Chain A
Amino acid sequence: AQSVTQLDSQVPVFEEAPVELRCNYSSSVSVYLFWYVQYPNQGLQLLLKYLSGSTLVKGINGFEAEFNKSQTSFHLRKPSVHISDTAEYFCAVSESPSGNTGKLIFGQGTTLQVKP
């Protein structure tokens, strides 16, 4: 079975500062990895995904994440945050192809609070 751990439930940061949201996963099979963002009172939006290839993945809104297989991590980073980045961020995994249904297993979420 797969599981996802987001190590920080809340991350406060000042505007224009860098931020890292941590995600670790556990799985006995190969996985695909995702980060989703949920703005207040809205649905989930895909930020970026890792399926294969380069371990550094760039997404929307200036976010990037690095897949580290040996540490089973997929941390999300942004070099300079804006007030508008205030939202909840979810890390998720999905089994890679064989028998996969595409269903996502989510972490508990990290609330990013950007302060002026």
Chain B
Amino acid sequence: GAGVSQSPSNKVTEKGKDVELRCDPISGHTALYWYRQSLGQGLEFLIYFQGNSAPDKSGLPSDRFSAERTGGSVSTLTIQRTQQEDSAVYLCASSLDQSSYEQYFGPGTRLTVT
């Protein structure tokens, strides 16, 4: 069946612009996670959704970062007023629920802020 998909695969933006990154989880998966992978910081947790609510936003690095999930499916991660330090690969993962302990990762969106 279809895995987790993310779009775009690559995004180049100018400093100060807003960007939206999209994640389509595996159908039926209620838990959705965003992570960021960068050279300096490694793989970091950003936010967790259970259904449409986000009970854990503890990894969002600043208030420029926000995310939403609609219909218990697609999620969008928005970064406002992008900075060069936001350059990274943004990974989305989904799992059946928060206790299934097997997360399936998408291929990621590589964001470059110039």
Flag whether B45 is at the interface (Cβ < 8 A). yes
The answer to whether A42 touches B101, judged by C-beta atoms less than 8 angstroms apart, is no
Flag whether B91 is at the interface (Cβ < 8 A). yes
Closest Cβ of chain B to A5, distance in Å, is: 11
A34 CA to B43 CA, complexed, in Å: 14
The answer to whether B55 touches A101, judged by C-beta atoms less than 8 angstroms apart, is yes
- Residues of chain B in range 86-103 having any CB-CB distance to chain A below 8 Å: 91, 93, 95, 97-103
A106 in complex: contacting residue of B42, B95, B104, CB < 8 Å: B42
The answer to whether A109 touches B42, judged by C-beta atoms less than 8 angstroms apart, is yes
Interface centre among B43, B95, B97, B108 (most CB of A within 10 A): B43
Return the chain B residue nearest A96 by Cβ: B101
A105 CA to B31 CA, complexed, in Å: 16
A103 CA to B45 CA, complexed, in Å: 7
* Chain B contact residues, majority secondary structure: strand
Which residues of chain A have C-beta atoms less than 8 A from B93's C-beta?
44
The answer to whether B45 touches A102, judged by C-beta atoms less than 8 angstroms apart, is no
Which residues of chain B have C-beta atoms less than 8 A from A42's C-beta?
107
Return the chain A residue nearest B45 by Cβ: A103
* Count class of interface residues, chain B: 20 to 34
The answer to whether B105 touches A102, judged by C-beta atoms less than 8 angstroms apart, is no
Flag whether A94 is at the interface (Cβ < 8 A). yes
Flag whether A53 is at the interface (Cβ < 8 A). no
Flag whether B25 is at the interface (Cβ < 8 A). no
Known: A42-B107, A43-B107, A44-B91. A101 touches B101 (CB 8 A): no
Which residues of chain A have C-beta atoms less than 8 A from B42's C-beta?
106-109
Return the chain B residue nearest A32 by Cβ: B101
Closest Cβ of chain A to B22, distance in Å, is: 15
Which residues of chain B have C-beta atoms less than 8 A from A92's C-beta?
43
Which residues of chain A have C-beta atoms less than 8 A from B107's C-beta?
42-43
